[in-house]
Structure 1
Amino acid sequence: MEVHTMADENDNMEAVMGLIINGGNAKSSSMEAIMAAKKGDFTTADAKLKEADNFLTDAHNAQTGMLTEEAKGNHVKVTLLMVHSQDHIMNAITFRDLAGEIVDLYKQLDKKADK
């Protein structure tokens, strides 16, 4: 029989909240990149995409830690909050990918306008 300690639950909650926070921050930075590109500020757009990537890296590291513990046999109780955190990460990754494409599109449009 598995015994979960309060420390285990606190570690899991910290990881879950890290996923939610970093996912939200990555999505916000991605949106800021799109808005900057829309204004023709591609330096800021690229910086915001890099910032989003950094948030996603932090989220990925937290997620990897949880997966590593699971692989070791340290199973955690799956909660709605945990599922919600995974949704945040998946949406943030998708949004970041799309933001990169939109920024590239604005760059192409800007080059054509200069001709």
Structure 2
Amino acid sequence: MTTETVDISEDLERIVFSIVSYSGEAKGYAYEALRLSEDGDFDGAHGMMDKCNQSVLKAHEVQTEMIRRELGGDKFTVSMIMVHAQDHLMTTLSERELIRRMIEQNRRLHTLEQALLAK
């Protein structure tokens, strides 16, 4: 098996664009879910978080493709743009988890507010 550095300028561009795009899409869905939860729309928030998770999965699939290729012998030069894409994905994952927890807190707060208003 020969290992050589692959010129992936176009491929890298596609990979980076895909990871950043899907990550940004996921982040947008997560923040929309948070907004919906603040309005008490927890079904809508759940639906947005499902869309967020689907976009994260797509970003992971692109990332996994690159990992598979590297394990198969392709050698990629790590570039700042790829580091940026990975950073974008990791930030989205972190924010998704935080937003998930905030939605649950909003659910608890909403339940308490409803109980107080019912008195």
TM superposition score normalised by structure 1: 0.91
One-letter amino acid of the counterpart of residue 102, structure 1: M
CA contact (8 A) 2:30 2:49 kept: yes
In our comparison, the structure showing a higher alpha carbon Rg is: 2
Give, in angstroms, the shift of residue 3 of structure 1. Answer: 5.3
Counterparts of 1:42-81 in structure 2 under 5 Å?
42-81=42-81
SS in 1 for 2:77: coil
User: Which runs of no fewer than 5 residues in structure 2 stay unpaired?
Assistant: none
Q: Does 1:11 align with 2:1?
A: no
User: Which runs of no fewer than 5 residues in structure 1 stay unpaired?
Assistant: none
Q: How many residues end up aligned between the 2 structures?
A: 113
CA separation in 2, counterparts of 1:69 and 1:98? 32
CA contact (8 A) 1:12 1:66 kept: no
**What RMSD, in angstroms, separates the aligned Cα atoms of the two structures?**
1.4
**TM-superposition CA deviations, 1:59-107 (whole Å, max 9, x none):** 0000000111111120111111100000010000011111111111111
CA separation in 2, counterparts of 1:4 and 1:63? 17
TM superposition score normalised by structure 2: 0.88
Which residue does 1:20 correspond to in 2?
20
CA separation in 2, counterparts of 1:80 and 1:3? 17
| CA separation of 1:109 and 1:64: change in aligned 2, threshold 3 A | same
Which residue does 2:101 correspond to in 1?
101
Identical-residue share of aligned pairs (%) = 27
**4+ residue segments displaced more than 6 Å:** none
